[in-house]
Structure 1
């Protein structure tokens, strides 16, 4: 954001006309150039305009730095699925919405609101945001356009339209030629979800392995857990039961460490279904009890844990 944008923002906010602010400082035409061109205006003219508006430039520049840092953390926490932290940062950014519209990350912010609304389950806001991004997409630069295509794919995955999401992702890979490494892991993860849900299990394995390595390298453990779930399910559907068992075990350990009880329930349940040894199965069933005893997770997750345990016992002919 340049100084002219700050001047325009506060002039508009205070309801001052251009000719009023320009009076005794410069011509209205020159003020218009200053507000719209970062290279216009000498220091003396700029300082006179700032003084008339009562703007502390140092304070405003610090505010810009702080908001930019907050946004970077917001985007990072979305990718790392830190919902509580991203919600706090979202509240700060939303309270400065008008100011953010002047900043160079404005479009990026608008795009990243889509995955934020998905992971935080704010679905009404999601639809409005998706429609907004479609409307303003012509103003996106190349990097923003690529990001929007990836985010669009996740939107269609949320809608369970895996074929559409897959087509978008494959087209994006062709366009980028795998140059945009910062998004490559997310593309592979999204493709893995598509392939798995379209019953293309071998392709799901390949994409998940790439995404798994990517998330491991950046210590994105929540996404590592989700990758393990896709890997294990794909192995199971390909009748690679030994690989599936080993991966479900890893999923159980990882989700326990993360405190992700939904993934933990899934891992225990699927691992139990593969068990033929009754002793090992009995031990597996006890794993459901720990989160229940600790009263951890929300009520729906606890209920899911109880029902999963009952279902597993019934399918395994264990009567208690």
Structure 2
């Protein structure tokens, strides 16, 4: 890490302009040359700039010390990636941020800290680091670039921008021809690419990269990550309507979940099996799996160790199935359950689930009110977000209601909207 890079990175980190930093020290143009590596400043100027940036000093250690430190950082990063053991948040942050001294491994340390924040879904903290590194990352080793673009892709993924996520993962893939990376880091990339392709409904690509990641995880006996890959494969085969292969993948993942008593994993698999059985119109078995998923996940929510949106999705699925079968009392029970969870998590944005529950509540109580609600609130919300799945679902529902009421003009309009939207969906990726 060059002195100029240190100055530029720390200046951006502190949100200080070049003009502010160089005042009474040097000219803006000279500072710009220092930051770009076009000139080497005197020790006096370095000390003055470092003093303003609150840096004790830039330490150039001997090669062995730097290599030892780099190896230590890589071990922390590997533990984060492989998820083989719990990592204490305080210890990691202290290890990565506890020194005012800036060394040549500063960028690697910041990249690993960003990945740690991403693993905790602290996207704002990760974003701050990534933005600061953006301007200087091209000056660094291939592995740093690889980690940077993987972090950036994961940040976009967590923020729901799957196309930009895939673009950044592609930047990682282009680096593979010019450098060699550890197998566990490559497997993590393949897994992220598979996951992102799945979100974009690129099924064959999702299968390809999940299979690549699975080869490594099976060899490494990393069973829980193998189960994650089997989940992706199960979802992909399900979308291709290859239910035999989907069930095989889900069953392998479920066996791992049961062996390790991983209730989060077991809950997710039961949810997906319920979804698969609903696609086969085997609603009784579907409900059994959804109820198992709910039973496994509810204690995790109470302990605060799981994402409540997953539980709300399962409740939504049970409401849909009971309503579809005409089991109104059961549908109401799950609507009430879902609303209790919604009221208990005010700090989480669950407006989408509130819409879903409100639709069925209104359909049960007052169909006239439900029509207005669907037209004025629900469909516009999902159209604005280009959510094809729910545009299809609710436009088709409106079309059927209007057809029953013999309002054929409106019925035809919403059938057309549903059919147009269905073209962007893989067949049977939703519960109708």
User: Where on the TM-score scale, by shorter chain, does this alignment land: which range?
Assistant: 0.5 to 0.7
Residue 250 of structure 1 is matched in structure 2 by 252
TM-score using structure 1 length: 0.67
1:92 to 78, 91, 94: 94
Point out where structure 2 has 5 or more consecutive residues left out of the alignment: 1-42, 45-58, 331-432
Please tell me the root mean square deviation across aligned C-alpha atoms, in Å: 3.8
Cα distance per residue 1:125-145 (max 9 Å; x no partner): 112111121133144123322
Residue 153 of structure 2 is matched in structure 1 by 153
Cα distance per residue 1:18-67 (max 9 Å; x no partner): 99xxxxxxxxxxxxxxx76859xxxxxxxxxxxxxxxxxxxxx7xx96x6
Point out where structure 1 has 5 or more consecutive residues left out of the alignment: 1-17, 20-34, 40-60
Cα distance per residue 1:161-215 (max 9 Å; x no partner): 2222323333432342285242321221122122212211011111111112222
Residue 196 of structure 1 is matched in structure 2 by 198
Equivalent residues in 2 for 1:77-226, closer than 5 Å: 77-81=79-83, 84-94=86-96, 96-99=98-101, 101-102=102-103, 104-177=104-177, 180-182=180-182, 183-226=185-228
Find the aligned partners of 1:131 and 1:302 in 2 and give their Cα distance: 29
CA 1:36–1:93: 2 relative to 1, 3 Å: closer
1:315 aligns with 2:317: no
CA 1:178–1:70: 2 relative to 1, 3 Å: closer
TM-score using structure 2 length: 0.51
Q: Which moved more, 1:82-91 or 1:298-307?
A: 298-307
**Alpha-carbon offset, residue 218 of structure 1:** 2.6
**Alpha-carbon offset, residue 235 of structure 1:** 0.9
Number of matched pairs? 264
Residue 5 of structure 2 is matched in structure 1 by none
CA 1:127–1:175: 2 relative to 1, 3 Å: closer
Residue 45 of structure 1 is matched in structure 2 by none
CA 1:149–1:291: 2 relative to 1, 3 Å: closer
**Alpha-carbon offset, residue 245 of structure 1:** 1.8
Residue 236 of structure 1 is matched in structure 2 by 238
